[in-house]
Amino acid sequence: MSAEAGDIGVPLRHYIEHHPKVGVRFICQGCAQTTDRPMAEVVAGLKARGLGGEATGIRAIARLLTRPCARCGRIYWETRPAF
């Protein structure tokens, strides 16, 4: 019952419906740089790029990111809800 490797996290739809003020926190695992963005903006971005949408899991967003960290240049993100 391991939920680690394949854990996509809670679908974004859940936050939009039940926690509308919650954003997405992008955390660089290389240098701990943190950025928060509105959930709706992240969902719109996923849809625009054909990568997902409301059904995408909060943790799965990190695997879709191709932009390097502005501070350390690595592409090593973790995503969490930003309460």
Q: Per CB under 5 A, which region of 8-16, 30-38, 41-49, 51-59 contacts Zn ion? A: 30-38
CA nearest to 55, candidates 43, 45, 66 = 43
| Contact between 71 and Zn ion per CB under 5 A | yes
Between CA 23 and CA 71 the distance in angstroms is 21
Which amino acid, residue 55?
A: A
When binding is defined by CB under 5 A, the residue of 33, 38, 54, 75 that contacts Zn ion is 33
Cα end-to-end span (Å), the chain: 27
Q: Per CB under 5 A, which region of 11-19, 43-51, 53-61, 63-71 contacts Zn ion? A: 63-71
When binding is defined by CB under 5 A, the residue of 10, 64, 72, 75 that contacts Zn ion is 72
| Contact between 30 and Zn ion per CB under 5 A | yes
Closer Cβ to Zn ion, 47 or 71, answer by number: 71
61 phi, psi to nearest 5 deg: -55, -40
